[in-house]
Structure formats: structure tokens, C-alpha cells
């Protein structure tokens, strides 16, 4: 993707009746671990970042909107029938475009709804791995091909500049080449990302298990501290190690899971670890869509 760019047509943003012109490019930086960057041109508007943890039942889907109107969707739940109304509640009814879609890994509860998104929305860039032998990944790949959506592989060290004027970035922390070579486990190869605006950070863990959390702790290639933690693997005991929680030190933990799901998520061990550290817990199973906003200094729930 080095040197290539994608220009999206001017269209209304998700927050106000205005037009914007989006230019997306991916560049490879020339140092030890190559890093990709995505940049955007825009007219400045109110500087608020919104992050909506969508209620898609037992699954993950996160909608992000930067101050410039740039929109990112991370995952899409298991079914379009659950994703579409949740996404419609976060976006204006007339908005049918997304600048970036991230498929963290090929499990159904994360990407099952994304082929329909590829069919219904104009998408500037799709980040997804190479697990195309998995049926849901094949379905997404084929839908993206039909819609001529550019694709690239997310990898540790990649930085997406969502709003350069306000310094809003989405950094990919995992997986790296070592993880991809070491295991075929889809959860371990899940995308882990850190969304940053000023002094406020959101850490999005996908389904990453504890050994990946510990790898991030040992290597410390990027900061892990965050005000908001999207808890790994829907609150399963296989994620959210105590030492990882201590390093992240979030004020609030968001759990995306279905009410009375058959896996028992979130597990009591995870809830106990969060409670012991005084971390507030919110859950899509109890509260539906959860919207958090920040001006880069403060953050609050809308």
C-alpha cells in the first residue's frame, strides 16, 4: 500500500449538515519496524471525539467519529440484523458512508455483520487480516471486492491519523509478525488498538487473550494506559489479567456482550478483578448503545 491513496467523494459528516472531503493515504515509514499512517484533510469543526460501543448482542462493534466527521467502525457483531439498527442509532439516517472499517479477527461475533455494511455503505478503507479460509472472512472479502473497497492488513506499528489537526490517532498494537507466525488462534491474532485524543485514551482489546496482554506488557512498544478499556473477549476469564489491568489503570471498563449469553460472559473472575480496583463497569447487555465523548482533556458519557 506504500504510496497509494484513496480519495472519497465529498459528503455530509455524521454530526452536522456539512460537506467534507476525505483523503486517505497509507505510507510506510522508513525505520526499524515499518509503520503505516493514514491521514485526513478537512475543515475544522467542534473538537469532540465520540465513541459508541454498539449493542449487537453477543459480539463487538464500535463506532468512532472524530471532530472532522471522519468515521470508523471496528467490528460488526454476528448479524447484520443486530448491527444495522444499532449503527443507525449512532449515525444520521441519511449517512451511508464510513471512512475506515476494521475487522479485528474472523470470528462470527465480530465480523458477521460486516458483509452487509460493505454492501450498503461507501467505505474508504477496510483493514482485515488474511484468514480468508474462514467463511465469514471470505464473505467479507467477497463483499469488499464487489464494492471495490481498498484493503490492507492491520499490523502492530500501524498508525491511523483520524484527525491530524487535533492529533487524533488510532494505533494498532497487535498482532505483530511474531504472533502471526506463532499461532493460528484467531483470538490471539485479534487486532488490539489504542485510540488517543489529547490526554484521553481508549484501549480496544478485541478478543486478545492473557498471553497477548502479557506480551504487550513485556515489550512496551507503546503506552497501555487508558481512561477507557474495552474489555477483551466480552469479559471472559481468558482475558483481562490482573497485571494488565494494573498497567492500563482504566477509570471505566466497557463490556460488549449479549444478555444471558450461553458463554456466561462476563465471567465472575473478570468482574471481581475490575471491582477490586475500583473500575466502573458498563455493559451493552444492560444498557444498549454506550456513547462516550471527549474534548481531549475531559471525557463523559452522552
> Per-residue DSSP letters for 124-181?
EEEE--S-TTSHHHHHHHHHHHHTT--EE---TT-EEEEETTTTEEEEEEE--HHHHH
What would the CATH number be for the domain defined by 4-301? 3.60.15.10
The grid coordinates of residue 181 equal: 507466525
Q: Give yes or no for residue 69 having a pLDDT over 70.
A: yes
Q: Give yes or no for residue 127 having a pLDDT over 90.
A: yes
The mean per-residue pLDDT over the stretch 111-117 comes to 97
pLDDT digits (tens, 9 = 90+) for 134-183: 889 999 999 999 999 999 999 999 999 999 999 999 999 999 999 999 99
The mean per-residue pLDDT over the stretch 187-208 comes to 97
pLDDT at residue 107 in the model: 96
**Whole-number Å distance between alpha carbons of 39 and 75:** 21
pLDDT digits (tens, 9 = 90+) for 12-29: 333 333 333 333 333 323
Asked if residue 155 lies in contact with residue 135, where contact means CB atoms within 8 angstroms, the answer is: no
Q: Give yes or no for residue 207 having a pLDDT over 70.
A: yes
The string of DSSP codes covering 7-49 is: EEEEEE-SSSS-EEEEEEEEEE-SSSS--EEE----------E
pLDDT at residue 46 in the model: 66
**Whole-number Å distance between alpha carbons of 106 and 153:** 13
pLDDT at residue 5 in the model: 30
pLDDT at residue 27 in the model: 30
The mean per-residue pLDDT over the stretch 110-125 comes to 97
**Whole-number Å distance between alpha carbons of 204 and 236:** 15
**Whole-number Å distance between alpha carbons of 99 and 38:** 11
Percent of the chain beyond pLDDT 90? 80
pLDDT at residue 62 in the model: 98
The mean per-residue pLDDT over the stretch 35-50 comes to 56
Summary mean pLDDT of the chain: 87
The grid coordinates of residue 89 equal: 442509532
pLDDT-derived band at 72 (thresholds 50, 70, 90) equals very high
Q: Give yes or no for residue 296 having a pLDDT over 50.
A: yes
The mean per-residue pLDDT over the stretch 40-50 comes to 63
**Whole-number Å distance between alpha carbons of 173 and 248:** 14
Instruction: Please report, for the chain, the start and end positions of each structural domain, with discontinuous segments joined by +.
Output: 4-301
pLDDT-derived band at 33 (thresholds 50, 70, 90) equals very low
Amino acid at each position: 500500500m506504500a504510496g497509494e491513496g484513496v480519495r472519497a467523494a465529498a459528503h455530509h459528516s455524521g454530526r452536522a449538515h456539512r460537506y467534507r472531503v476525505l483523503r486517505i493515504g497509507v505510507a510506510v515509514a522508513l525505520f526499524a519496524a515499518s509503520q503505516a499512517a493514514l491521514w485526513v484533510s478537512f475543515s475544522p469543526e467542534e473538537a469532540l471525539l465520540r465513541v459508541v460501543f454498539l449493542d449487537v448482542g453477543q459480539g463487538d462493534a464500535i463506532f468512532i467519529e472524530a471532530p472532522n466527521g471522519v468515521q470508523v467502525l471496528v467490528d460488526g457483531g454476528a448479524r447484520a440484523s443486530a448491527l444495522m439498527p444499532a449503527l443507525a442509532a449512532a449515525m444520521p439516517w441519511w449517512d451511508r458512508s464510513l471512512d475506515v472499517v476494521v475487522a479485528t479477527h474472523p470470528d462470527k461475533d465480530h465480523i458477521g455483520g460486516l458483509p452487509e455494511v460493505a454492501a450498503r455503505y461507501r467505505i474508504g478503507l477496510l483493514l482485515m487480516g488474511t484468514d480468508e479460509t474462514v467463511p465469514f472472512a471470505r464473505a467479507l472479502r467477497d463483499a469488499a471486492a464487489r464494492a471495490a473497497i481498498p484493503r490492507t492488513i492491520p499490523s502492530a506499528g500501524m498508525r491511523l491519523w483520524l484527525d491530524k489537526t487535533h492529533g487524533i490517532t488510532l494505533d494498532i498494537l497487535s498482532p505483530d509478525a511474531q504472533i502471526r507466525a506463532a499461532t493460528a488462534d484467531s483470538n490471539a491474532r485479534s487486532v488490539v488498538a489504542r485510540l488517543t485524543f489529547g490526554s484521553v485514551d481508549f484501549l480496544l482489546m478485541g478478543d486478545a487473550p492473557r498471553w497477548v496482554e502479557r506480551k504487550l506488557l513485556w515489550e512496551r512498544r507503546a503506552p497501555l494506559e487508558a481512561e477507557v478499556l474495552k474489555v477483551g473477549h466480552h469479559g471472559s476469564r481468558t482475558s483481562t489479567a490482573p497485571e494488565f489491568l494494573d498497567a492500563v489503570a482504566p477509570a471505566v471498563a466497557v463490556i460488549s456482550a449479549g444478555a444471558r449469553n450461553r458463554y456466561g460472559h462476563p465471567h465472575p473472575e473478570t468482574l471481581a478483578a475490575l471491582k477490586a480496583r475500583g473500575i466502573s463497569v458498563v455493559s451493552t447487555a444492560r444498557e444498549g448503545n454506550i456513547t462516550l465523548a471527549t474534548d481531549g482533556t475531559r471525557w463523559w458519557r452522552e
